[in-house]
Each structure stands twice: as structure tokens, then as C-alpha cells.
Structure 1
Amino acid sequence: MLEFYKENQNAILRYSSEGVAPHWLYPKLRSSEVVKISKVFNLTKEDLISNIEQYDTLGAVEFKIATLSGDYYCFPKQILNLDNDLYVHKSIELNKKLFIAERGVSIFGKLDNLVSTSIFLGGENENSIPKGVFEKLQRDFPNSYELNKYASARVSSIISSYIELGDDHEEKYQTYMNNKVSLKGADLNSQFAKFEVQKYNSLLEKLNYMLENEIAYSEAQWQKELLQIILLIYPKYIHIFKEAPVRDTYSNTTKSIDYLLVDSSGNIDIIEIKKPFDKCIVTSRTYRDNHIPLRELSGTLMQIEKYLYFLNKWGKKGEDYLTKKYESKLGVNFRIKVTNPSGIIIMGRTDGMSFEQKQDFEIIKRKYKSVIDIITYDDLLERLRYTVQRWTNTSPKS
């Protein structure tokens, strides 16, 4: 049995075996051996404050384990088998649970393995562990039930290929851990929400301004301005290369792609940007009850499909060529990959279309969805509005 109390600026450990002195200690202490109590405390004759000559009459044996230094009780590192001394604030109650977890695991021993300086618990020291945080650590420390489940899960994972098991111990362990309160980090959404609201509001205002003043932009300047928005809406892309080459292996000529997108993994896609003419998506009249793609849309689709076809046929030679060509921008160890590239088309407005036109346009979009994403400027506006709303709802209320 372990008991702790404070006396004359010392912390005392009182150890007994069902109310009587543990006789096994004294021969070891007399021979100056280190005695280990509860697998955690390493004590010697110098730490003993009981009379070693009267152990037959004692009900317990007592050791001095710490001395008050300022506002902290200092536990010498050798007593707890640590690399550094332990300092416990004088306001904190000393008890067995403070030092020992289930199965005789030393709590401060585990902490000592993770740090390189002395451990301070409680009080005002700038490097101290707050009392509340340490109490949470005690509650979350693995218990016997958890350790048994973990052991069963590890063993069953090894032998399950050879022996049919009665229970799925891995699943039981994961279910237990999922139900247990886990570590909770900072809420990053809340931290960055106000900045995201500001960013996407700015993009929304810029796009609205561009659409209201479209006539004032040249085609080249329009594309340049819009690409800034695209890179922020699609952050996976890290580079855009203008007039990128692609080899037509059939005619043995080199074509020029308006804009080549490169993502952080080196995969490439194509983007085509057209100014938002009022009528360039689907016909206003129907052909056999269908609104069909106008020349501007069907021509852009055909162009993208050809470029994608050329890129896929170019294969590894194309990867090597493009990697070498853009090495100065991407870095020596960065490699461009042609892995089923896809296309993005940004053009036209759906504002002003009839319900039937929008419905037929949606069918056209879905037909190409696996390869080409057709986005109108109204789609972009809607995406930005929803993004602003999402971050506004996430932002902490002041």
C-alpha cells in the first residue's frame, strides 16, 4: 500500500504490506541495494527516514522522495528513474495515481522519454504542464482493457491468414478506439474562415466587374485575368503554361495548346477560355425538339478532344519533352505526367436561357463530363457565391 504526505518541506512515501512493514526491504537497504517499489520508485538507504533497526515494530516504512524548492517539490531523477528531475507544484495532491498508471506504468517515465528537460507540473512556471491538462492525460492513459484489446488485435492480424478466428479482434479494437474520446486539434476552419470569406468575396466582385465590363477587355487580357481566378478556385494547379506544344504524330506537326495546367503531382490538364458571348452555347430554336450545341461550343469541344488525343498518343515522349521544356519553371526533379488528361472549357452564359435550353445543355455537359468539364460564367458565379456562404457560416460569430 502506498500513501503520501508532506511534512517539514519534504514529501514522504509511506509503504506497507497490509498494515505491516515489508520485511523484504531491510536486507536490501542494509546492503545499500536499490529497492523498487510499485515498479516506479527506486529507493535507497539514504532515502529512508524510518529506523532501520526497529523494522520489526514498525507498521510501515517511510522514505523521503522530494524536497520543497520554492513553489515546487523536487523529485530527484534517480528516484523515479528519469533523465531529468521532476517538479510538482505544492498545491497538487500527491497520490499513487499521480505517478502510476495501470499495469505499473510510470506516467512521468513515459513523459520523460518524450522531452529533453525537467518536467514541471502545475504552477506558474512558463514550461509547466497545467494541472487540467495532466488530469486529462491521466484519464486518457491506456487502461488494461484497451491494452488487452490491442494485444488481441495485433496477434489476430498475424495469425488470421493461417487460423480461422472466432472473433474479429481488429474490428473490435478499432470500434473501441473510435468510441473513445480522441485527441482534438485546433479548429482550422474557424481560424481561416474570415480570410476565406474575404478572398472569395474579392473573387466574386472581380468576376462580376469583368462580366459587367466585358467589352472593355481584349481576348488575351480577359484570359489572363480569369486565370488568376481559376488558380484560386482550383488550388491543386500550381502552374499554367501558355501555348504549350503538343505533337500530332499522324501529321508529324506540332500544335499549340492555349493553356496547359500542371498540378502538384505533375499531372496535366487543358483549359480553354472564351469571352462570354450571349449566344454561344445552344441554339434558341430546336432541331427535332432538341436544342443543339452552337458552332462556338461544338468547335471548342472538338479542339479539346483533339488535344487530349494527341497528348495521350504522345505518351512518354511527350512527358520527357514537356518536363525538359519547363524544367526551369518546375524544378529539376519535377516530372510532368500524361495520365488521362482532362479538359476544362469556360465560356458562355446560361442567364437568359429557357428551361428547355438549360435542360438540353445539361445533357451535353454530362455527355462530356468524364473527359471535359464545361463551365459557364454563371456556373462560376454560383460556385463563388456558395463558397462565400459556406465560409461565412463557418466563421465564428463575434
Structure 2
Amino acid sequence: MVYFYTDERGLILEYEPEFNSPSWVSDELKEKGEVTVSRAFTFVTRDLLNRRSKRTDEDPIYRFRFAKREAGYFRIPGRVLGCENDVLIAEKEVPFERKTFVAERNVGIFRRVSRVMESDGEIVVGGHRDGAIPAAVFRELLRKFPSSIELDRYASARVETIMGEYLKDTSNAREKYERYLDRRGSVIPDTQLPHTELIEAEIGKYQLLRDLISGWLSRAASYSEKDWQRLILKVILLLLPKYVAVLENVHIVDAYSVHGQKKKRFIDVCLIDAGGNIDVVEVKKPFDDALLSKSLYRGNSIPSKELSGAIMQAEKYLFHLSKWGVDGEAELTRRYAKQLPPAMQIRITNPKALVLLGRDMRLSGAPAFSAQQKFDLEVIKRKYANMMDILTYDDLLRRLDNIIASLSQRRAGLA
């Protein structure tokens, strides 16, 4: 049995042998100069304070100097806990008992902590020293340290994952392990990450983008289609952070329009995402009559010539890009290497298109379409959703408003 108590110099560990010979500790110290008690704590001869018995000489209680007081902390030599780092624990913030230092299967807590440290400094728990592990965080570690059951089930799940296809009638060990983790509860704390400044910056960014685009839309008639492309290009990487590069006037090969001949086609704007994949962007003017035809087909609204033409144009670009294949990837990578992050390769992997055109709100703020027209327009968008994202300029503003609202709620949760 192991007990801890304090004196004026620090912390004392008291060990009472239960199963071995009462003198085995003394014998070990005399023979080897050190001894490990309770399978966890290693002491040398000078750590032994006395060997006087509270009962009889046949049943001794050994007392070892476990830690010394130091400016509000107990300093535990690393050798006692089997690690290279000394451990400092604030005097009144962590309970001193065996399970503070040893997990199930005699796994040393601080040995594990020491292994993940990059420096050779001290491990500090609690108190106000720089770099100290907060006592609450350390108690959380103790509470959620893997138990014997979890370790057994993890080991079985790992065996089944690696060898399951070669074994008949396996016991669904991985599923049992996942169910156990679900019952145990999440090890992720509910507290938010301390990123208030980042959220503030993000809110400011999206508010700026919304105000810029709203201002441009208020003067929409004064801009040509080329002007709108230039305006959107100024902000598109901020609007769509998954992309890392914008390519303009991209020349691609068309080997299908005329049999046996290769023609040049030019895509006004392409985007490259963080994985190197290329997508197409079509930017048109924000006319409020550019989406639905004024005539109906059997009571249904149908795409306008402007919208149908933009969709067809984007489809053609995607078709020719995909057919260009690996030769196109190599050519585009070579041609735009200076505009890409270092060592990035452009990939033509199921490219998609973004089509930005038209408005579904009038300058007065009134809806441009009836409820039935809105529904029909959404059906049209969904029809092409597997290959392109069709957005109105008002869709873009609504997305920005929703992002700002979401970030504002998260900011309020951190307050």
C-alpha cells in the first residue's frame, strides 16, 4: 500500500509491503542501490528516511523522500517517476495519491507526458509559472486516461482491422470498440477554442465584401461584363477560401468541334483549389431579367436565353477540360507555375463550374420573382448541381449575411 503525506521539507511516500517479504525493500536497496515500489516509484538508498515499524519488525513501513518544497510547488525528481524530466506540482491543486501518477496496467502518467515533450525542461502542473499545465487540464487527463477495458478493445479492433479479411467469423471488435467510446463520452471538452480575435477579423472581412458587392450592385448599369469580371476577381479568393489561385484567359484545347482538328478555346476565369484541382468560373452582368424566360412552358418557368447560354458555355468548358486530360494538366502547370504555390501540380479531376449572373431582388429591395418562379429557378439550379453552382448576385449577398450571422453567434458564445 502507498500513502502520501507532507512535512516541513516536502512530500513523503509511505510504503507498506503486502505480499512480498517485509524485508525485500531493504534487501533490494543493499544489493542494487535502488528499488521500485508499487511498480511505479523508484528510489535510491539516500531517499529512505527510516525503517522503523509501527507494528513489528516483521511488518515494516518504509518512508521515502518523494518531493521537496520549492516556491509553492513540490519538486519530484524525474528518476522517481521513471522519466527524464523533473515534475513540479502546485502544493494544493492536485491530490497526491497513487492514481495521480500511475494509470491502469501500471502506466506512468508522467512518463507518457515526458515522451510527448519536445524540450528537456521541467513538467509543471498548476500554479502560475509560465508554460504550466493548468491543474484542471491535468485532472481531465487523469479522468480520461485509457482504461484496461479501452486498451483491450482497441487492441482487438486493431487486430481485426489488419487481419479481419483472413479470419472467419470475427467478433466485430472494431464495432464494439466504437460503441464503448460512444458510451464513455467524448474526450473533447465543450469549451470553445480561444479564437475571438480570429472571429473578429473574419466578421470584418465578410462585412467588407458584402458592402463592396452591395455598392457595386447599386451602380450595376455603369459596369460592363468585363468590368464585373474584374470586380469579382478582386475578391473571389476571399469569397471562396478553398481556392488559392486565379487564372485568367486560360487557353485550352478543343479536339472535338471540328473532326481531325484542334482548336483553341479561352476560358475567362479558372480557379485552382488547395489540392491543385481546376474549376471554371463564368461571371455575367447582374441583370434582373437574366434568369427566367418571360414565357411559360405548360405553366412552368424555363431558363432565359442568358442563363441557358451561360450553362451551355460552362458545360463546353468542362467537357474540353476533362478531355484534355494529363497533357492538359502538364501544360497548364508549366504555363502557370509562377502563379501557383511552390511544387503544386494542376489537376483536371472532374472539374466543376461556378456561374454568377442575374438578380432575384430588385433595386427597391422587392423580390424579382413570385414564389412559383423562385421554386422553378431552384429546380433549374438543382438540375445542374452535380457539375456547377449557379448563383445570383443576391444569393452571394445572402451567403455573406449568413456567414456574418454565424460568426457573430460564435463570437457571442465566447464572450
Instruction: Note the C-alpha offset of 1:32.
Output: 4.6
Q: Which deviations, in whole Å up to 9, do the C-alpha atoms of 1:93-138 show, x marking residues without a partner?
A: 5332332222222222222323321223333333433333322222
Instruction: Note the C-alpha offset of 1:339.
Output: 1.9
Question: Residue 383 in 1 paired to residue 399 in 2?
Answer: yes
Aligned mate of 1:160, from 161, 164, 170: 164
Q: Which deviations, in whole Å up to 9, do the C-alpha atoms of 1:161-201 show, x marking residues without a partner?
A: 34444632221212222333303386359734433333222
Equivalences for residues 35-114 of structure 1 within 5 A: 35-51=35-51, 56=57, 59-91=60-92, 93-114=95-116
Aligned mate of 1:199, from 195, 205, 224: 205
Distance 1:327 1:20 in 2: 72
2:164–2:170 contact (8 Å) kept in structure 1? no
Query: Aligned partner of 2:323: which letter?
Result: K
Question: Residue 219 in 1 paired to residue 235 in 2?
Answer: no
Q: Which deviations, in whole Å up to 9, do the C-alpha atoms of 1:271-326 show, x marking residues without a partner?
A: 12111223232221335544443332333333222222222222222222211111
Question: Residue 279 in 1 paired to residue 289 in 2?
Answer: yes
List alignment gaps of at least 5 residues for structure 2. 362-367
Equivalences for residues 247-396 of structure 1 within 5 A: 247-249=253-255, 250=258, 251-331=261-341, 333-351=343-361, 352-396=368-412
- Matched with 1:22 is 22
Instruction: Note the C-alpha offset of 1:345.
Output: 1.9
Distance 1:221 1:245 in 2: 21
- Matched with 1:244 is 250
1:21–1:61 contact (8 Å) kept in structure 2? no
Distance 1:108 1:363 in 2: 60
Q: Number of residues paired by the alignment? A: 398
Q: Which deviations, in whole Å up to 9, do the C-alpha atoms of 1:21-63 show, x marking residues without a partner?
A: 8122233333354221111222233322325899836642222
1:21–1:60 contact (8 Å) kept in structure 2? no
SS at match of 2:294: coil
**TM-score, normalised via structure 2 length:** 0.84
Query: Aligned partner of 1:160: which letter?
Result: G
1:284/1:15 CA distance change after superposition, 3 Å: same
The percentage of counterpart residues that share the same residue type is 35
Provide the aligned C-alpha RMSD in A: 3.1
Distance 1:252 1:184 in 2: 59
Distance 1:392 1:57 in 2: 71
Q: Which deviations, in whole Å up to 9, do the C-alpha atoms of 1:322-346 show, x marking residues without a partner?
A: 1111112115622212222222222
List alignment gaps of at least 5 residues for structure 1. none
1:217/1:59 CA distance change after superposition, 3 Å: same
- Matched with 2:364 is none
Distance 1:357 1:130 in 2: 59
Instruction: Note the C-alpha offset of 1:159.
Output: 4.9
Distance 2:276 2:350 in 1: 12
- Matched with 2:189 is 184
**TM-score, normalised via structure 1 length:** 0.87
Distance 2:346 2:19 in 1: 76
Instruction: Note the C-alpha offset of 1:213.
Output: 0.9
SS at match of 1:382: helix
